[in-house]
Amino acid sequence: MAGIRVGVHWSVLVIFVVILLGLGGSRFPEDHPGRPAWQYWFASSVTAAVLLLSLLAHEISHALVARRNGVSVDDITLWLLGGVARLKSEASTPGAELRIAGVGPLVSLLLGGVFALAAGLLEGVSDAGLVVEALAWLAGINILLALFNALPAAPLDGGRLLRAIVWWKTGSPLRATVVATAAGRVLGWLLVGVGVYLLLAGAPFSGVWLVVIGWFVIAMATMEGGQARLRELLGGIPVRDAMTPDPVTVRATTTVGEFLADPRFRFRHSAFPVVDEEGAAVGLVTLKGADSVPEAQHGTTTVADVMVPVDDLPTPHPDDPLARLVPELETGSAHRALVLDGSRLAGIVTSSDISRVTSWLSSSSAWRGRTL
């Protein structure tokens, strides 16, 4: 959709079933009795599907505005608590952060208004009570999502807005992240506390739901705080200090059989840069990918047929900041980057290389003397 991969986590089924049972099995029959049962279940099914589309619109808006502000988008995944748009990099300015974060709640608020307007227009139509009820529910839930997401705590959109404001005031994106993630943990624990209270007060469904949301907020805020400290840890470190220079390469015309049989490609590494006849990098081939080719096709299938194309890989310059590469390695399927100096392949960086550098920095006396 709009050139962005969209995935659906299995937990989305939980949302669908909860809405289906809550509306079709309880709310709709109570508010509009006397109708055939299939109408309640059909209306609740359509309502649940429209809600999921509303969540997708929320995340798509983040992705599109991110693109317009120079931030590449990996994919969007819908899951139990809504959706997540995975960005390959961070906003370069507080203004860009503000625009990317703010558009999501605005879209949800706009959708809430549209559904409310539609419900109002249909309210006077005879025999449209069930449709009006569904539209009113969609209006309320979208407005509620907009308000909840606007709370100033990471990982919510409001946390991004708070981060943008603190970043603009202090000039420090790290300090801004620390403030936003601390607010996120506070909000998470508040939600857990309210959820436990509701459980003890005899409202198990609402209580469990709030506890789950609270734990999610705490976990995501803690993860964002860790990522911010990692960026600070790697601050000033260029990619060349972590890369393996002049890696062993394989020609794109090499067959899979030749690649697997060649002793140069055994034991030491599990992936190798692929180059063309002029020596320019064109992709990355993994032993796992080559080994997945049926043995009968080893002699006719080339490495180029099974490689990850260079356009799907991070390709930093040796002097680029290492911290900027970390999120791209985490979100990329290969978890490797080809380091290019112009058209020349200068090296390769893996997630293990990042871990090695961070372990050394964390244990060094120079890092122990630094503070956030």
Residue 368: what pLDDT? 47
Predicted pLDDT at 72: 74
Indicate the DSSP class of residue 68.
H
The DSSP call for residue 363 is: H
> Which stretches in the chain have pLDDT values below 70?
1-3, 74, 80-83, 86, 88-89, 126, 267, 331-332, 364-372
Q: Is residue 133 annotated as part of the catalytic site, yes or no? A: no
**For residue 273, is the peptide bond before it cis, meaning its omega torsion is within 30 degrees of 0?**
no
**CB-based contact 328:282 (threshold 8 Å):** no
The separation between CA 221 and the C-alpha centre of its own chain, rounded to angstroms, equals 14
Rounded alpha-carbon distances, angstroms, from residue 177 to 35, 93, 174:
52, 13, 5
> What pLDDT is stored for residue 284 in this prediction?
94
Q: What phi, psi does 255 have (nearest 5°)?
A: -75, 160
78 closest CA partner among 5, 11, 8? 8
Model's pTM, two decimal places?
0.73
Domain boundaries, the chain: 5-150, 239-368
- Quick one: fold of 239-368? CBS-domain (3.10.580)
| Helix H or strand E encompassing 19 | helix 12-19
Structure tokens that stand for 232 in this block: 């600070």
Residue 307: per-residue pLDDT: 94
Give the whole-angstrom CA distance, residue 65 versus residue 103.
8
Residue tagged active-site, from 30, 59, 97, 330: 59
